[in-house]
Structure 1
Amino acid sequence: MTWYLAKLIFRIISGEGEHRPQFDEQLRLLSAENWQQALEKAEALGAQGQDTFLNSKQQKVQWQFINVVELSVLGNLKDGLELHYRIAEPHDPDQYIESVHQRAAQIAGRSFAHFS
């Protein structure tokens, strides 16, 4: 098994979304047989990380998975460990989401043989 570091992007929406847009950027540690499996595991973690709940003000809070934007090969560490996060507050959330999808398309288009 090889260790990989994946960056996942989530959008956070509170209440009716009448707030400055927020995005959570997480680094996740993954153990996988190859680059493609690491990407699939990262995408599955993103899907599992989606959630809706009520905050202390009884407002609905949604965590929406946007995409995996980075995937790097690492050494031996612990599977699934979150190493870093960052909440982004861009002025233009649609442009931010578009850039997330573009970065995800770039990593999905790489040759998997190069990362095996």
Structure 2
Amino acid sequence: MAPSARNGPYFCGIDAAMDVVTGKWKPLILWELDHYGTRRFAELRRGLPGVSEKMLIQHLREMEEDGLVHREVYRQMPPKVEYSLTEHGVSLNAALASLGRWGTERIRRTGAEKVKVPSASAS
């Protein structure tokens, strides 16, 4: 699926990048899929404390439309759906890595608390 341009034309590259990462959960979904690999919906939801089902569904649909996330539907009973990063999603996540390092340093510098995230083995 070709990436979409919901809000173009763009003023600059940052503008175009922000179009696909705007929203609290999108960068975190990218991180979760990069860190843990292919995930089912419930696994993503457990890995992102505080995200509502509605918001996760909306963001996953937009990210699929933007070519960042691949949604694989398995025709079986019960139905099974898995999400993974596309090559485009992997490259965006790599671009966000330096922002993540900056944020980690900010947490350290300000003494802010980090949210405790359930471990991958709980999935």
TM-score, structure 2 normalization: 0.26
| TM-score of the two chains, using structure 1 as the length reference | 0.27
Query: Is the strand fraction higher in 1 or 2?
Result: 1
Q: Give the structure with the larger helix fraction.
A: 2
Structure number with the bigger relative contact order (C-alpha 8 A, sep ≥ 6) is 1
